[in-house]
Amino acid sequence: MDEVFKALADPSRRALLDSLNVRNGQTLRELCGGLDMARQSVSKHLAVLEEAGLVTTVRRGREKLHYLNAAPVHEIAHRWISRYDRARVQALADLKLALEESQMDAPTFVYTTYIRTTPQKLWQALTEPEFTRRYWATAFTTDWAAGSEMTWDNHGVLISDPEQVVLESEPYTKLAYTWHTMTPELAERFEWNEEFLAKLAEEPRSKVTFTIEEAVEHVVKLTVVHDGFAPGSTLAEMVGQGWPDVIASLKTLLETGEPLPQVF
């Protein structure tokens, strides 16, 4: 956590974060163009921000896209701000995560965190109902083979659809699947009106990808990319607000044996 505070202490690095807050998923060239800094200086500052976990990157073709990462701020909120009963999500609301539209075909939501666990245990936590129900109130019925259909049990509502499928499944390394269908039963559970449900149902089906990497011994790097949203997507805003809590609860469950209280 010391690295986070040191990284934030520099005004040039805060300016880079502000730039990503305005529009996430920028290349180095774009960041240099929007700030009065030399390319070499921007690269050095970005390296410090990446080391602190405040910026995460995703490669798309030959380009490296930079995203504001809310994980360290979220951990600070849990450590101190939550003691004063402030809403946990409010501590990182100004970061906007990665919900800004981009002119490129870029991921919409990118979140990186480090968890004291093993790739095997993290894979279990992402796939096995006894884990997913505890930190997410969600469970999946599937054999987790690429191309297989998935039935979601989302907060007690069963959702089945042939387009809910596993896209990639490499145990302990990578998992990707399409997002669930918006149904009248789900709308009733969350008290959405018909107009709001229709708006969500019109959106293209998005997808989520989990990438698991061993960082150091007994520490695993988890990167979550949720993309496939239409410009101005309402669903993107919803999942962008929900993912930080889901992942924070997953991390806490694996590191302490108990998930965080659910607020989603």
Sequence spans of domains, the chain = 102-256
Distance CA 134, CA 127 (A): 12
252 C-beta neighbours (distance < 10 Å), count: 16
The yes-or-no verdict on residue 94 having pLDDT over 70 is: no
What pLDDT is recorded for position 164? Answer: 98
User: How do residues 122-174 score in pLDDT, each as one tens digit?
Assistant: 999 999 999 999 999 999 999 999 999 999 999 999 999 999 999 999 999 99
Overall fold of domain 102-256:
Alpha-D-Glucose-1,6-Bisphosphate; Chain A, domain 4 (3.30.530)
The yes-or-no verdict on residue 33 having pLDDT over 90 is: no
Distance CA 234, CA 196 (A): 9
User: How do residues 190-238 score in pLDDT, each as one tens digit?
Assistant: 999 999 999 999 999 999 999 999 988 889 999 999 999 988 889 988 8
Lowest mean pLDDT among 40-44, 143-147, 178-182: 40-44
CA distances from residue 129 to 104, 117, 154, 249 in whole angstroms, order as listed: 36, 18, 11, 15
Q: What average pLDDT does the chain have?
A: 85
What pLDDT is recorded for position 91? Answer: 35
